[in-house]
Chains A and B, each alone.
Chain A
Amino acid sequence: MRHVISVLVENEAGVLSRVVGLFSARGFNIETLTVAPVGDGETSRITLVTRGEDSIIEQILKQLNKLVPVIQVADLTEGAHVERELMLVKVATDRDTRAEVLRIADIFRSRVVDATPTSFMIEVTGDSSKLDACLALLTPLGVTEMVRTGLVALSRGDKGMVTKSSH
């Protein structure tokens, strides 16, 4: 089962390596990982996607909680939540394909963020499957390079993790 896990941590040196080190040392896998400071900058929020049986996920959640600088851990896949990912794709174009690339961009409500006579860079946002679908259409037209942010997610509803500092 795929799980999206949100981890609120103290924004201090070495936290990310503690989290990543935990996964590698215990043989858990990470599919995607994003991290950035949130709130007043004293905390960071990590979103990671992992796979495993329920017992493995339970261990992952407990082990993350055990790390000293980890403030809170939540498995977002336990409830309703919103997932988003961002992708930048560079497509090489010629006279025949430029219109087609723009049409595809339009279908996926994505934006052209850079253009040259021989290329477009397109920014696509959505859940991961939308990005996959967009990429599948662009690939035959000549994708030069691409990058994805990995997933970020929040639970639906009015409740959330505490991002306010309690110092």
Chain B
Amino acid sequence: MKMTGAQIVIQTLVDLGVDTLFGYPGGTVLYIYDELYKNKHRIHHYLTRHEQGAVHAADGYARVTGRVGVAIVTSGPGATNAVTGLATAHMDSIPLLCISGQVPAALIGNDAFQEADTVGITRSCTKHNFLVRDVNDLARVLREAHFIARSGRPGPVLVDIPKDITVAQTEYVYSSAEPKIRSYKPTLSGHVGQIRRGAKMLQQSKRPVLYVGGGTVLSDASEELFKLQEGLNFPLTNTLMGLGSFPAADSRFIGMLGMHGTYEANMAVSNCDLLVAIGSRFDDRVTGKLSVFAPHATIMHIDVDPTSISKNVKVDLPIVGDVKHVLAQFNDLVHAPGFKSGLQDMGPWWEQINEWRKRECLRFNQGSDVIEPQYVIQCLHQVTKGEAIVATDVGQHQMWAAQFYGFQKPRRWLTSGGLGTMGYGLPAGMGAQVAKPDAQVVVITGEGSIQMNIQEFATCLQYNWPVKVIILNNGYLGMVRQWQEFFYERRYAESDMHVTPDFVRLAEAYGALGLMCDQVDQVIPTLERGLSHPGTVIMDFRVNREANVYPMVPAGAGLNEMILI
């Protein structure tokens, strides 16, 4: 059947199972939007108020569903506005397809109106990108882009489509076959010999730690991980991105590790004899000073991306493969008769860990006057029974959410871990709400971060999304202020942000419900009222202005050199 390029875009997306798009129209994508108008019954487009919001929303949608999030933007400023969203998804390995308009092929390179070298600009912040030069390539390119985005180590892929391609016609041929790209073949299963060697290490270790990252969430390997733990019963720590892959309430969970990790997790890593990294990448915020990271440990690393292995930390046993596959392979060995975990010898190791736990590194004192930010998160956990989908921005509130919410399940925690993008939370929460219309979606943010994509409240109202926004308002760019307090002798250079909009009236201006709370005994009632409201809500909690995130490993220090409360 003959179709225009614009029709092919829609048809290919529909054939790929895409029914949700986030985007913003403009000159070069008008033919595509015209087709969207005609295909409303098959594909839902959500109009954000900024392209960055569209890409973050697609990202949030992808994190919650595990499917490829799709965003569409116009050329020039549309594409450059999308860059932060792409870079965010790239750092956290989120499967995204971003379609950008481009000026007509004949004008490319002529500094045409709203022209930008989009493939050039996005080359280093996407997993791959394409410029379509021939309408005959369009369907194939979109299928390949979708495949590349979701396979192997997932990531964002951009397809740049010149406007003339969207009106050119060609024959559309349906295909449901997985694209074959000779230069791109991700490894799924782990090397059998390496896994056998790994299983032996698991049996020999007396002081093991499982260090579990976002790769476990991305490959939907939580069940396999839990089954592995039924055989091993090892202490398990999560990275920021890995939270939810293992139930936080489980006694074998020792908290997050790294810069703001728990005392017990960081001490366990510093003293273990076997560190099993599963879908994690030894980020500098996790390892601290490399020379003293897990100094006594043999290191095993399971990752689908070979470049992650031995990039920062030399690995003794690399296993390249998809976490879900590799853990299933391990389970076959661990649950076979004759496998003896070190459990009977691990009593002293657990005693030591329980000793470290007694430091209660996350404790804080909630007095009767000033609301402590951690208390708000604890109350939120209580009121939502730990079952909300939580999106955050970046800073202190993000770390408190990570430390205090207690994630029991995967794909409920949306945070910009790698790039650290302020302004991520609200649009990501919108994407989550689209993915799970009946779920309680909560955005935890600060008065600084929320202002970075505050325009998206209008989007929430347009679609009646009941997204709940909790602002931990301390009138500071809190994490910046904390670093200035610790390392710059309290010179609070440009981190004071006490001049903010009146968030209650702002909510009302958008048509949302606004609540303000500055009384300790009103925290729970405010949350209950806000969370049970059927529409969009902004809750402005005035919290302790100079609360700090503890523990903290100063940049460049070892994990065992924590600043404790």
Contact = CB atoms under 8 A, between A and B. Distances in A.
Interface stretch (B27-35, B165-173, B176-184, B400-408): B176-184
B310 to A, nearest CB: 7
A69 interface: yes
B123 A65 contact: no
A14 B119 contact: yes
Given A68-B128, A70-B183, A62 B314 contact: no
A66 B183 contact: no
A139 interface: no
Nearest to B129: A14
B131 A13 contact: yes
A59 interface: yes
Contact of A71 (B119, B182, B306, B310): B182
A71 B120 CA distance: 21
A116 interface: no
Among A62, A70, A166, max chain B CB count under 10 A is at A62
A18 B123 contact: yes
A167 B181 CA distance: 9
Given A69-B183, A70-B183, A71-B182, A59 B124 contact: no
B181 A68 contact: yes
A62 B128 contact: no
A17 interface: yes
A58 interface: yes
Contacts of B123: 14, 17-18, 21
B310 A58 contact: yes
Nearest to B305: A66
A152 B399 CA distance: 51
Contacts, number: 38
B124 A68 contact: no
B307 interface: yes
A63 interface: yes
A68 B311 CA distance: 20
B195 interface: no
Interface in A1-29: 9-10, 13-14, 17-18, 21, 25
Interface residues of A, number: 21
A16 B449 CA distance: 38
B394 interface: no
A55 interface: yes
Contacts of B314: 55
B247 to A, nearest CB: 33
Contact of A59 (B127, B184, B307): B307
Among B124, B131, B133, B307, max chain A CB count under 10 A is at B307
A8 to B, nearest CB: 9
Contacts of A167: 182
Contacts of B148: 68
Nearest to A68: B128
Contacts of B306: 62, 65-66
Contacts of B182: 71, 166-167
Contact of B124 (A21, A58, A166): A21
Nearest to B124: A25
Contact of A55 (B119, B127, B181, B310): B310
A18 B129 CA distance: 10
A55 to B, nearest CB: 7
A68 B184 contact: yes
Interface in B110-148: 119-120, 123-124, 127-128, 131, 133, 148
A12 B306 CA distance: 25
Given A21-B123, A21-B124, A62 B183 contact: no
Nearest to A165: B182
Interface string A147-167: 000000000000000000011
A25 B307 CA distance: 15
Contacts of A166: 182
Among B131, B183, B184, B311, max chain A CB count under 10 A is at B183
Interface string B506-544: 000000000000000000000000000000000000000
Contacts of A55: 310, 314
Contacts of A13: 131, 133
A70 B184 CA distance: 8
A21 B125 CA distance: 11
B147 to A, nearest CB: 11
A18 B124 CA distance: 8
Contacts of B127: 68
Contacts of A69: 183
Contacts of A66: 305-307
B320 to A, nearest CB: 10
Interface string A63-94: 10110111100000000000000000000000
B307 A68 contact: no
A13 B314 CA distance: 36
A9 B124 CA distance: 18
Contacts of B183: 9-10, 68-71
A91 B39 CA distance: 70
A50 B296 CA distance: 34
Contacts of A9: 183
A121 B24 CA distance: 59
Contacts of B181: 68
B182 to A, nearest CB: 5
B11 to A, nearest CB: 24
A55 B148 CA distance: 27
A1 to B, nearest CB: 17
Nearest to B186: A66
A32 B322 CA distance: 36
A49 B433 CA distance: 51
Given A68-B148, A70-B183, A14 B131 contact: yes
Given A62-B306, A68-B128, A71-B183, 15 more contacts: A13-B131, A13-B133, A14-B123, A14-B131, A17-B120, A21-B123, A21-B124, A55-B310, A55-B314, A59-B307, A59-B310, A66-B307, A68-B148, A70-B183, A167-B182
The 3 closest A-B pairs by CB, nearest first: A71-B183, A62-B307, A68-B128
30 contacts: A9-B183, A10-B183, A13-B131, A13-B133, A14-B123, A14-B131, A17-B120, A17-B123, A18-B123, A21-B123, A21-B124, A25-B124, A55-B310, A58-B310, A59-B307, A59-B310, A59-B311, A62-B307, A65-B306, A66-B305, A66-B306, A66-B307, A68-B127, A68-B148, A68-B181, A68-B183, A68-B184, A70-B183, A71-B183, A167-B182
Interface of B: 119-120, 123-124, 127-128, 131, 133, 148, 181-184, 305-307, 310-311, 314
Interface of A: 9-10, 13-14, 17-18, 21, 25, 55, 58-59, 62-63, 65-66, 68-71, 166-167
